[in-house]
Amino acid sequence: MSLETGTGAASDPAAAPEEAAEADSLGDLSEFDVSSLAYGAVGTTVFLALWQAAALAVGRTYLLPSPIEVATAFVVELTAPTTFTVPFVGASLPATRLTANLLQSLLHYLPGLVVGSVLGIALGVGMGWSGRLDDALTPVTRFLRPIPPLAWIVFAIVWIGIGHGGAAFIVGIGAFWINFYNAYAGVEGVSTHLREVAASLGVDDDLTMIRKVVLPAATPSIATGIRTSIGQCWMIVVAAELFGAPGVGFQIINAAQNLATDVSVAYMAVISLVFLVSDGAFRRVERRVLAWRD
Amino acid sequence: MAGLSEPSASEPRSDDAKVVVDGVGKVYESERQRVRALSGVDFTVDDGEFVCLVGPSGCGKTTLFRTIAGLEAATDGEIRLDGDPVTGPGTDRGMVFQEYGLFPWRTVRENVAFGLEEQGVPEPERSSRVGEMLGLVGLAEFADAYPKELSGGMKQRVGIARALAVDPEILLADEPFGSVDAQTRDMLHEELLRIWSETEKTVLFVTHDVEEAVKLSDRVVVMAADPGRVSEIVDVDLDRPRERTEPAFADYVDRIRTLIGE
């Protein structure tokens, strides 16, 4: 279709030069996309064919479910009716097994991600800005940082109990560190030059400097932290749910224990799809917000 | 133009000068060494005057610039602007830097508005002042562009507009055209001289380019290195516009180059 646009512009001698150039570059872009899409399709087909062949050779679904069995399980889970009970409110909503599990996961994923990110960014900005705070807290942050979020499950259990709260706690720890380091690096990397320029233009207090110079300049780095944690937190969700919190990750292990590995893989695919959608959505927002970037 | 009728450099200048650099010295001290960057620097800049600081690298001209800007404190002596000692950066000194220093997340318009926002200039006036400044530097059509979309010369014109927007007493420029090509530089020289005569601002301009100094300034403060000090102040007594090809222009350039030891 864009090829037609390109040809159309080229065959129309009256078209303004800029318009023609624009159409050409669009044409180039789509051609590139078409060829990479084609290669992608080939690669995917080969992968699925090899998987199907391997599954046929193994011959036992619980050892290796075929892509067709997984797709079937996915559709069954996506359509099997159930209800979803909204916590705190107590109301029951009609749902399907898949959407109900996904909502369960989101109930700890989202609060953990949001609270962990906000706290991590706040501490990162604080330590990146204030040398004294940095000196005071660096030993502690260096020591705590290498501990995998899941190790804190002990405290999730004894403080909160395993459930949405405990899982959100673990997710929050993961989001915290990722965002802490990106915000810290972003703030530390803000050029002295820009701060001097701002000072020469009348900025004479720390809060204004942070709000008008440091935060905007650190936004690309902070955004990278948020995007990374959006992905990493799904990994943590699955791990946290292995301990019994309801959701997609729990279904993966639960189905496997019943030898329904086709259902397990279907839920693995759910994680992947949700990640792709949320990452894609965030990238879109990032591109708009950071349109000024080189 | 304003500077030409001023008294010559040899006459003693009184304390009612716009800028007084009074016995300024600067020593950088670290654990291992002590480096004297400036020693006993004295000169003045009159109201409306265009003064260039030239000198070899390492003569401390950037240190002096930063001290006048209030970004660094002098070890000895002081700098006075309209009689008041400089103690830090402020909007009475508009600054233009070689690396532009534009805020990349702000459009051209928003960059120029930055200082006005800080001064609390309310909206209708702010926009009209920004529009006026963009008109002055000929960038009205690029008001909504981001810095990344501009050429080096355009970025520097935004830098000048932003510095002038807050109506400073003096414009301080540190090698502002050091990063643009020669042709653009010539154009920017013309533009800066036009802006200078339109706004009647005092300009202090640091450069290592002797021709640039002769082209632009009423007086050239020639500096020497080790330690950084003023070696001579040269009055440039040429009518504007000045052409590099004029013999008198070349004489000034040769004289200053000899002083620098080039």
CATH code: domain of residue A156? 1.10.3720.10
Q: Please give the average per-residue pLDDT across A191-212, as a whole number.
A: 93
Average pLDDT of chain A to the nearest whole number: 87
Task: Classify residue A65: in a domain, yes or no.
Answer: no
Q: What is the pLDDT, as a whole number, of residue A26?
A: 45
pLDDT in the model for residue B68 = 94
* Model confidence at A15: pLDDT above 50: no
Residues A168 and A122 occupy one common structural domain = yes
- ipTM, 2 decimals? 0.86
- pLDDT value at position A30? 53
| Among the partner residues B103, B105, B118, nearest to A202 by beta-carbon distance | B118
The torsion angle over the Cα atoms of residues B186, B133, B106 and B202, rounded to 10 degrees, is 70
The answer on A207 and A138 residing in a single domain is yes
Do A32 and A175 fall into the same domain?
A: no
Do A136 and A25 belong together in one domain? no
Same structural domain, A39 and A173: no
Q: Is A14 touching B (CB cutoff 8 A)?
A: no
Query: Residue A6 has what pLDDT?
Result: 37
Q: Answer whether residue A71 is part of any domain.
A: no
DSSP label of A151: G
Give how far A286 is from chain B: nearest CA, Å: 13
Chain B contact residues (CB < 8 Å to A): 69-71, 88-91, 93-95, 97, 99, 101, 103-106, 114-115, 118-119, 146-148, 162-163, 166
Please tell me which of the candidates A194, A199, A202 has its beta carbon nearest to residue B103.
Answer: A194
- Contacts with A292 from chain B: Cβ below 8 Å: 104-106, 146-148
| CA–CA separation, A134 and B89 (whole Å) | 26
Residues of B in contact with A213 (CB under 8 A): 103
Residue A167 is part of which domain span? 76-289
Distance of CA B198 to the CA centre of its chain: 16
Element spanning B109, H or E: helix B108-118
Number of domains in chain A: 2
Q: What is the mean pLDDT of residues A123-146?
A: 94
| Separation of alpha carbons B128 and A199, rounded Å | 23
> Both tokens of residue A258?
């019943």
Distance CA A17, CA B45 (A): 52
**Backbone angles phi and psi of B43, in degrees to 5:** -170, 170
Please list the ranges in chain B whose pLDDT falls under 70: 1-15
Selecting from A194, A200, A292 the residue whose C-beta is nearest the C-beta of B89 gives: A200
Together in a domain, A184 and A242: yes
Could you please state the CATH topology (level 3) that the domain comprising B14-92+171-262 is classified under. Rossmann fold (3.40.50)
CA B20 to chain centroid, in Å, comes to: 15
Distance from the Cα of B217 to chain A's closest Cα (Å) equals 24
Q: Which pLDDT does position A150 carry in this prediction? A: 87
Q: Evaluate whether residue A90 is within a structural domain.
A: yes
Q: Dump pLDDT digits (tens) for A260-273.
A: 999 999 999 999 99
Q: Is A271 helix (H, G, I), strand (E, B) or coil?
A: helix
Q: Comparing B8 with A145, which gets the higher pLDDT? A: A145
- Asked whether residue A92 falls in the same domain as residue A50, the answer is no
The verdict on a CB contact (< 8 Å) between B88 and A216 is: no
Nearest CA in chain A to B106: A292
One domain, residues A49 and A194: no
Measured between CA atoms, the residue of chain B closest to residue A192 is B101
Are A42 and A10 found together in one domain? Answer: yes
Q: A286 touching B, CB under 8 A?
A: no
Per-residue pLDDT band for A192 (boundaries 50, 70, 90) equals: very high
Whether residue A253 sits in one domain with residue A212: yes
> Of A194, A196, A292, which is closest to B148 when you measure between CB atoms?
A292
Q: Where are the domains of chain B?
A: 14-92+171-262, 101-167
Are A54 and A85 in a shared domain? no
For residue B107, CA distances in Å to A214, A244, B140 come to 17, 51, 12
Higher pLDDT: A21 or A75? It is A75
Pairing of strands B202-206, B19-29: unpaired
Q: Which residues of A touch B115 (CB under 8 A)?
A: 201-202
Task: Grade residue A141 by pLDDT with cuts at 50, 70 and 90.
Answer: very high
Residue A123: inside a domain: yes
Same domain membership, residue A165 and residue A45:
no
Query: Could you write out the DSSP letters of every residue in B7-59?
Result: PPTTSPP-TTSSEEEEEEEEEEE-SS-EEEEEEEEEEEE-TT-EEEEE--TTS
Chain A environment of B118 (Cβ under 8 Å):
201-203, 208
> How many pairs of residues across A and B have Cβ atoms under 8 Å apart?
63
Q: Are residues A201 and B118, on separate chains, in Cβ contact within 8 Å?
A: yes
What was the pLDDT predicted at B93?
94
pLDDT tens digit string along B110-128?
Answer: 999 999 999 999 999 999 9
> From CA A282, how far away is CA A110, in angstroms rounded?
14
How far apart CA A75 and CA A80 sit, in angstroms, is 8
- A291 contacts in B (CB within 8 Å)? 146
Residue A248 lies in a domain: yes
Contact A15/A9 with Cβ under 8 angstroms?
Answer: yes
Q: Has residue A86 got a pLDDT over 90? A: no
* A68 falls within a domain: no
Q: Is the pLDDT of residue A11 over 60?
A: no
